Amino acid sequence: MKLLIKGGRIVDPASRIDGIFDILIEKGKIVDIKSNIGTQLAKSINASNLIVSPGFIDMHVHLREPGQEDKETIRTGSLAAAKGGFTSIACMPNTIPVNDNQGVTKFILSEAKKNTSVNVFPIAAITKDQKGEELTDMADLKNAGAVAFSDDGQPVYDSQTMRHTLEYSKLLNFLIIDHCEDKNLSRNGVMHEGYYSYLFGLKGIPSSSEDVIVARNIILAEKADARIHLAHLSTKLSVELIQNAKKKGIKVTTEVTPHHMFLNDSDLKTYDTNLKVNPPIRSNKDSKALIEAVKDGIIDVFVTDHAPHTPDEKTVEFNEAPFGINGLETAVSLILDRLVNKKIISLEKFIEMISLKPAHILGLENKGKICVGADADLTILDINKEIVVDVNKFESKSRNNPFHGWKLKGSPVMTIVGGKVVYPF
Amino acid sequence: MAFNHKHLLGIEHLSDFDIMTVLNTAESFLEISTREVKKVPILRGKTIINLYFEPSTRTRNSFELAAKRLSADITNFSKLNSSTVKGETLKDTVLNLEAMKADAIVVRHSCAGAPYFISTFCTSHIINAGDGAHEHPTQALLDAFTIRQEKKKIKGLKVIIVGDILHSRVARSNIFLLKKLGANIVLVAPPGLIPEELKRLGVNIDYNLDRALEGADVIMMLRIQMERQEKNFFPSIREYRNLFSLTEERFRRANKNAIIMHPGPINRGVEISADLADSVKSVILKQVENGVAVRMAVLYLLLGGKEREITD
């Protein structure tokens, strides 16, 4: 059965196309793009007044399975992704057990194949059990389907280990992702260190805990002439370090979350544990710098760092709550409302950062673009649709999202993966 | 006497009028503790839970005696003898205690924000008896009460607060309160223990105790938290004592009638010389005495005892 998307405004940063065209899909691929394709033999979807974009890709997600299925499963996380407009997600290896061997990678892929409608790409650990000591069998893991390597919340702490990792990554062009945090500087911290942490009496996580590891990673990447992707940037100085590195031609890429752009540390006055996240929500000065860095192209991609935790785990003293924000179902509306509809960035720029660039960084050749022969992964948006965030309507198993009750303009309305409509369900 | 708050979670959000209301109310309670029969029936039939997740000598007994002198029933909870050690969550613990029909819960907790958190799901009045490094409102109120008693005013006084400002809830509550009432505050400690950002609250910072003491009317010493020594905020107790201990000789730099305060517990011979702590310049035990009256006032204002019944 063919699928025809009629009359939508196609915005494709890869080809710089922005116009009203029809798209014909057959066997999971895009087979034709032009005006007024006939409707015979095809199921037709009316996309007039809507935006048709290459499918969104979230390269920083925690699916919790195997091991913590009370928080999320591969299935529920994927439903959340589909509803949030994502056609592909890359999941971090901090499962129990850690995704540090082919067995876990294959388990994730087979569960995804059985139970999900979006593409799930496992990210494997850099070191065994994320301990920062012995490297995993990276070529083996890549063969099994790992698209990248990261020790997730555990930065690769030993600089010599990171150096070897970056050197080895050149073997098969592995993508190395690092969470930049000096754990000595951040020890026992629960929020951004600054005026508000002193006011609220909470132990701070200084910006320097991120900055020193960002600087180290840039230095090591330059020395190894390897590429590195720095996760969830949160500070102004990190932005400056990366800007400088890019100018020098060092192969560094980076990402930012909606919560780091649209919230700041003064919001923690209610001790809402849904605002507890690592890296922490930082100062107004930092969030402004992140948005400027998006505009200036210093930051490459938008991610959610989707980190589900159960209500029970979050309904505790602030110090006791786990770090993490549940983000898959709010990210697109937040960015459309706060950046696109407010004309801070163009729609094309948004799509580039949430589809084309992550596809490129992860090496997903047939994704992130709308052209004949590309995978038929599409996200359809209504940039005028007004929504109110309601965590109780989440597809995710968890509810830990601080944007509950926010009124936002702009929303994904349909998600198509491999030529099949996966949302609305 | 209007005090339109359901809870006492901190000083930050009180008005100067609220503060004066508590202080003036406490004034009228002071005498009760000097009677032969130290009891009035104002809060008869009210139930108060004294909920302590951290050790306490002064605050806990002060609240207990305050409640008893107002004829309320009070029960004491301490973490070590509770189901918290079996893994019961704070929320479940509080809901269970509240199910026994409490009217007020006085809470001391090592986590900043814990009393606020409790207030989000409880129907009782919540009183913060110290939460992490955040606030200790009744301590600041009894400190202000004592300063006013000794100095007859607060506005325009030079108050220096010396010691571990970074980790001190007493310092925060006192900064909020004394600024609202017009005092000039100087914070004194080694640099790592005074965040520069606190200047935004309108206080001055000095790393030199001798200089800060010049012209001081009130010297508030804080305990140096020995357990944090390993973290290298300063090199050694010896060096700290040399630079920041209040000695007789240093004290002479302050104003003639300056008073010495300390929220306790004291490390004798560390932040303050034993002789000074016991001297007539020290109002440390006055603070403790006044604490009972101030806490009686807080319980009375929140639990809505009938006005002027205290003449009994």
- For residue B231, the model assigns a pLDDT of 74
Q: How far is B280 from chain A (nearest CA, A)?
A: 34
Report CA-CA distances (Å) from A320 to A405, B80, B117.
25, 18, 12
Taking an 8 Å cut-off on Cβ atoms, the answer to whether B116 and A203 are in contact is no
Shared domain for B123 and B35, answered yes or no, is: yes
Is the CB of A284 inside 8 Å of chain B's CB atoms? Answer: no
Q: Where are the domains of chain A?
A: 2-51+375-385+393-423, 55-362
Q: How far is B36 from chain A (nearest CA, A)?
A: 42
Find the CB nearest B113 among A194, A312, A317.
Answer: A317
Cβ-based contacts of A199 with chain B (< 8 Å): 12, 172
Cβ-based contacts of A271 with chain B (< 8 Å): 112-113, 116-117
Taking an 8 Å cut-off on Cβ atoms, the answer to whether A201 and B134 are in contact is yes
Cβ-based contacts of B114 with chain A (< 8 Å): 317-318
Shared domain for B263 and B299, answered yes or no, is: no
Find the CB nearest A200 among B112, B166, B195.
Answer: B112
Torsion of CA B187, B192, B197, B200, to 10 degrees: 0
Is the CB of A194 inside 8 Å of chain B's CB atoms? Answer: yes
Shared domain for B306 and B190, answered yes or no, is: no
Q: Is the CB of residue B113 less than 8 Å from the CB of residue B131?
A: yes
| Residue B79: how many other CB atoms lie within 10 Å | 17
Q: How far is B39 from chain A (nearest CA, A)?
A: 36
Tell me the CB-side half-sphere exposure of residue A136, using CA atoms within 13 A: 33
Residue B73 class from Cβ within 10 Å (0-12 exposed, 13-18 middle, 19+ buried)? middle
Shared domain for B259 and B148, answered yes or no, is: yes
Find the CB nearest A201 among B89, B135, B197.
Answer: B135
Amino acid at A268: L
Q: How far is B70 from chain A (nearest CA, A)?
A: 31
DSSP state of A207: H
Tell me the CB-side half-sphere exposure of residue A71, using CA atoms within 13 A: 22
Find the CB nearest B169 among A201, A203, A312.
Answer: A201
User: Over the stretch A117-154, which tens digit does the pLDDT of each residue have?
Assistant: 999 999 999 999 999 999 999 999 999 999 999 999 99
State the DSSP string of B176-224: HHHHHTT-EEEEES-GGGS-GGGGGGT-EEES-HHHHHTT-SEEEE---
Shared domain for B52 and B124, answered yes or no, is: yes
The structural architecture, per CATH, of the domain A2-51+375-385+393-423 is Roll (2.30)
CA-nearest residue to B173 within chain A is A199
* List of residues 6+ apart from A208 with CB closer than 8 A: A182, A185, A237
- For residue A42, the model assigns a pLDDT of 81
Shared domain for B52 and B184, answered yes or no, is: no
- For residue A1, the model assigns a pLDDT of 80
Shared domain for B99 and B156, answered yes or no, is: no
Count of domains forming chain B: 2
> Which residues of chain B have a pLDDT value below 70?
1, 227-230, 305-312
Q: Return the structure tokens found at B84.
A: 């918290």
Q: How many CB pairs under 8 A join A and B?
A: 57
CA-nearest residue to A196 within chain B is B197
> Which residues of chain A have a pLDDT value below 50?
none
Taking an 8 Å cut-off on Cβ atoms, the answer to whether A318 and B198 are in contact is no
The CA angle B166-B167-B168, to the nearest 5 degrees, is: 100
- For residue B307, the model assigns a pLDDT of 46
Q: Is the CB of residue A348 less than 8 Å from the CB of residue A383?
A: no
The alpha carbons of chain A give a radius of gyration, in whole angstroms, of 21
Cβ-based contacts of A318 with chain B (< 8 Å): 111-114, 117
Cβ-based contacts of B112 with chain A (< 8 Å): 200-202, 271, 318-319
Q: Which residue has the tokens 């596809």?
A: A359
Q: How far is B173 from chain A (nearest CA, A)?
A: 10
* List of residues 6+ apart from B132 with CB closer than 8 A: A201, A202, A319, B109, B110, B111, B112, B113, B114, B169
Q: Is the CB of residue B111 less than 8 Å from the CB of residue A318?
A: yes
Q: Using CB atoms and an 8 Å cut-off, which of residues 261-280 of chain B contact chain A?
A: none
At the top level of CATH, the class of A55-362 is: alpha beta
- For residue B227, the model assigns a pLDDT of 66
Q: Is the peptide bond before A402 cis (omega within 30 degrees of 0)?
A: no
Identical fold for domains A2-51+375-385+393-423 and A55-362, yes or no, is no
The catalytic residue positions of A are 305
Chain mean position to CA B186: 18
Q: Cα separation of A71 and A96, whole Å?
A: 12
Q: How far is B148 from chain A (nearest CA, A)?
A: 26
Amino acid at A189: G
CA-nearest residue to B89 within chain A is A316
Q: Cα separation of A330 and A86, whole Å?
A: 11
Q: Cα separation of B310 and B312, whole Å?
A: 5
Is the CB of A122 inside 8 Å of chain B's CB atoms? Answer: no
Q: Is residue B121 part of a domain?
A: yes
Q: Is the CB of residue B29 less than 8 Å from the CB of residue B309?
A: no
- For residue B1, the model assigns a pLDDT of 56
Q: What are phi and psi of A40, to 5 degrees?
A: -60, 140
Q: Cα separation of A309 and A391, whole Å?
A: 13
* List of residues 6+ apart from A403 with CB closer than 8 A: A330, A334, A389
Sign of torsion over alpha carbons A48, A53, A55, A56:
negative
Shared domain for B222 and B82, answered yes or no, is: no
Shared domain for B99 and B129, answered yes or no, is: yes
Q: Is the CB of residue B170 less than 8 Å from the CB of residue B263?
A: yes
Taking an 8 Å cut-off on Cβ atoms, the answer to whether B112 and A195 are in contact is no
Taking an 8 Å cut-off on Cβ atoms, the answer to whether A199 and B172 are in contact is yes
Range of the domain at B210: 137-287
Q: Which of B114, B143, B146 is nearest to B128 (CA)?
A: B114
Is the CB of A56 inside 8 Å of chain B's CB atoms? Answer: no
Taking an 8 Å cut-off on Cβ atoms, the answer to whether A315 and B91 are in contact is yes
Taking an 8 Å cut-off on Cβ atoms, the answer to whether A317 and B114 are in contact is yes
Is the CB of B134 inside 8 Å of chain A's CB atoms? Answer: yes
- For residue A38, the model assigns a pLDDT of 83
Torsion of CA A39, A43, A47, A52, to 10 degrees: -110
Find the CB nearest B197 among A198, A203, A320.
Answer: A198
CA-nearest residue to B88 within chain A is A316
Shared domain for B62 and B185, answered yes or no, is: no
Interface confidence: ipTM more than 0.95: no
CATH number at residue B89: 3.40.50.1370
Shared domain for B141 and B278, answered yes or no, is: yes
